[in-house]
Amino acid sequence: MDYFSTGDVSKKLKLSLRTLRYYDQIGLVKPTRKELNGKRYYTPDDLLLLQKVLLLKATSMSLDDIRNVIQRVTIQKTLVVHKEQLEQTIQQLQQSLAYTHTLMNILKLEGEIQWDQLLPLLSEENQSLKQDMKKKAFETLFNDEEQEVLAELPKMGDDPDTMAKWINLIKRIDLCIEENKSPISREGLLIAHDTLLLSNETFKGNAELADKFWLARKSKETSAELNLYPVREEVVAFMEEAILHFENHS
């Protein structure tokens, strides 16, 4: 029978010698052979048992639970549990990636972000809570058909051409505000025209849904519940006045 020293096992399975000794002490995986000088040797079956422990440990199962089920757990059960853990990890990573993209676009739009906006990146619970709040807000404000349309809209977590157009529009409004240009100025009316064109494109010609979404968008509280990127009140007011004037004189 082949035997492997603790050093061999450590290299094969990338486990520290301290971990191997600890597993031995708690009776989780005991080496088949121990010599008087303290050296420990593992059989291929011992290595297989250690690999099963590592698989179960990767599913966040405690060592106590692993010890209780290690001899009874099947390959199928191990794969199912590991698959569920991977799916959960992927979902958390996707949420974190989407929020990172959101912050990058906010930084592009606003020029700066606060450090506390980075905190959700460190908290999976906060991200899940935000997703739940957004879902409830959408269900309250919009019907099923409208939700389907809104689900296809560009988000700050994405970076499609449409999102870039909205960001550029807001930047153009910021410049007008900085230069004290009126919403009914030539630049303001051009912005209003472009906004209406882009809104029609974004909402696929559904003017009623666009108006409903814009009404929700103007509320700070509702925007927060929907997890929408922040837009300054001055920008919103400028856009509204420019569009109103454009529609009344076109």
The answer to whether residues 189 and 242 touch, using CB atoms and an 8 Å cutoff, is: yes
The 10s digit of each residue's pLDDT in 89-132 is: 787 777 777 777 777 776 776 666 665 556 555 555 445 545 55
The 10s digit of each residue's pLDDT in 46-58 is: 888 888 888 878 7
Could you state, in order of their start, the residue ranges of all structural domains in the chain?
Answer: 4-73, 90-248
Name the DSSP letter for residue 74: -
Domain 4-73 carries which CATH code? 1.10.1660.10
Measured CA distances, 14 to 46, 47, 60 (Å): 15, 12, 18
| Helix or strand holding residue 4 (H, E) | strand 4-5
Residue 193 has pLDDT above 60, yes or no: yes
173: number of Cβ within 10 Å: 25
